[in-house]
Amino acid sequence: MDEEYDVIVLGTGLTECILSGIMSVNGKKVLHMDRNPYYGGESSSITPLEELYKRFDLPDSPPESMGRGRDWNVDLIPKFLMANGQLVKMLLYTEVTRYLDFKVVEGSFVYKGGKIYKVPSTETEALASNLMGMFEKRRFRKFLVFVANFDENDPKTFEGVDPKLTNMRDVYKKFDLGQDVIDFTGHALALYRTDDYLDQPCLETINRIKLYSESLARYGKSPYLYPLYGLGELPQGFARLSAIYGGTYMLNKPVDEIVMENDRVVGVKSEGEVARCKQLICDPSYIQDRVRKAGQVIRVICILSHPIKNTNDANSCQIIIPQNQVNRKSDIYVCMISYAHNVAAQGKYIAIASTTVETSDPEAEIEPALELLEPIDQKFVAISDLYEPTDDGTESQIFASRSYDATTHFETTCNDIKDIYKRMTGSDFDFENMKRKQNDVFGEDEQ
């Protein structure tokens, strides 16, 4: 281990594994360590089921009705991939897809007045949806057509909207959309967690709705994908990529000290040895003194023996409860997957509810989501602190990732990856750079 590396990475969460994969592909010499004996850090998938019971300090072991323990892979942090989103692009460009298999999530639903409805995201679905009245449907359809045709480089498509000046509230007014429609457009299509976006320039919201529609167009049922055997497969896929490019991995490796000289990182000490480096990437748990607490997330993992009511018996789905519907500031999310994804025993379903904590009683905050899941065979409650770095790394060359937020997709994680990449290299992240160099590893032209 007493060697010199360009980059040392601490923690094998998804953010860290993608960055070590990218740095390795870019020709950097990378050492990747984790104090845990497993991959994934905060975002790992737990197997067998007995391990999950232990992790949450439950006194009993799983009942026989739960089937074989090793049939379970339970994500600690639930997220889906947008079919046309940034993470899928990263997987395709780096060809990490060769290590993974995905299934399309069967439906996306939104909560209104105590019931759940399928999210209408195409013109046809919008016209058939019972979320809106007849005239509202026509106005919403006009709005969807406007968004689909909108091109920020072509003023002819603006229809009097200035993408950098007009705020989203005014765009909704222009199309005369009612509050319920605004709720599901902002939260179930544009996937915002709060309503702060209404007073910001509309371009980002329009692009988010486009991303949703384009993702939906790829596979039809919903815009989301989910890997077979759970999300723990993702960090491992990028770890393999890093290893192909010469990256060194060490699990179960305690980190005793981050070695600094003149306020700059020069290495990491572990078990009496020092590996030297020029830059360090890590998750917040490795540098408590350089991060600050930015809030909390509650996640409740629920094991069910039935699909969720009113979802057409889908074996996977997402439900978004817009904050307005339950008098909150942040949305509540439910991600549901099942035995169909090789993450649960036959006939079993895993639903994970999550939201940003706003009061001193987080379990009461998440109750509206749990009511949709009844009856619940077993639940596991986790309340996690969210951390963000206080140091941008310019002087110290230490780059910490942010904790995973309550959203049910990876777009915010990818933004963090791009942000760290820019601070480390000084240049914008370019997907094209990630394409595997032809000839370089497999010794043959990869088309």
Q: Which helix (H) or strand (E) holds 292?
A: strand 291-304
Architecture of domain 4-42+232-292+388-442: 3-Layer(bba) Sandwich (3.50)
266-312 pLDDT per residue, tens: 999 999 999 999 999 999 999 999 999 999 999 999 999 999 999 99
Residue 444's pLDDT band, with cuts at 50, 70 and 90, is very low
Residue 406: predicted pLDDT: 92
Residue 121: predicted pLDDT: 63
What is the rounded distance in angstroms from the CA atom of residue 112 to the CA atom of residue 118? 11
Cα 231 vs. chain centroid, distance in angstroms?
10
Name the one residue in this structure whose structure tokens are 């990732």: 401
DSSP 224-235: EEEETT-TTHHH
Residue 218: predicted pLDDT: 87
* Neighbour-count burial for 8-33, b at 16+ CB within 10 Å, e otherwise: bbbbbbbbbbbbbbbbbbbebbbbbb
Cα 114 vs. chain centroid, distance in angstroms?
26
Residue 131's pLDDT band, with cuts at 50, 70 and 90, is confident
- Which among 350, 376, 378 has a CA at the least distance from the CA of 230? 350
Residue 438: predicted pLDDT: 38
- Which among 160, 213, 224 has a CA at the least distance from the CA of 190? 213
Mean pLDDT computed over 430-441: 57
Q: Is the CB of residue 281 less than 8 Å from the CB of residue 242?
A: no
Architecture of domain 51-106+295-386: 2-Layer Sandwich (3.30)
Cis amide bond preceding 254, omega within 30: no
What does DSSP assign to residue 285? G
Q: Is the CB of residue 287 less than 8 Å from the CB of residue 332?
A: no
Q: Does residue 440 surpass a pLDDT of 60?
A: no
Q: Does residue 441 surpass a pLDDT of 70?
A: no
Q: Residue 338 in 3-state DSSP?
A: strand
Name the one residue in this structure whose structure tokens are 């590996």: 275
Q: Which two tokens stand for residue 222?
A: 């919903």
Please state the CATH superfamily assignment of the domain spanning residues 119-219 in this structure.
Guanine Nucleotide Dissociation Inhibitor, domain 1 (1.10.405.10)
Say what the pTM is. 0.90
Residue 250: predicted pLDDT: 94
Residue 94: predicted pLDDT: 81
Mean pLDDT computed over 218-242: 90
374-403 pLDDT per residue, tens: 999 999 999 999 999 999 999 999 999 999
Q: Residue 342 in 3-state DSSP?
A: coil
Mean pLDDT computed over 23-51: 93
Mean pLDDT computed over 157-173: 96
Domain boundaries, the chain: 4-42+232-292+388-442, 51-106+295-386, 119-219
Helices (H) and strands (E) counted in the chain, each on its own, are 12, 19
**pLDDT top residue among 319 and 43:** 319
Residue 134: predicted pLDDT: 84
Residue 439: predicted pLDDT: 39
Residue 98's pLDDT band, with cuts at 50, 70 and 90, is confident
Q: Does residue 183 surpass a pLDDT of 80?
A: yes
Q: Does residue 434 surpass a pLDDT of 90?
A: no
What is the percentage of the chain residues whose pLDDT exceeds 90?
79
What is the percentage of the chain residues whose pLDDT exceeds 70?
96
What does DSSP assign to residue 86? H
Q: Does residue 5 surpass a pLDDT of 50?
A: yes
Q: Does residue 429 surpass a pLDDT of 90?
A: no
The mean of the pLDDT values for the chain is 92
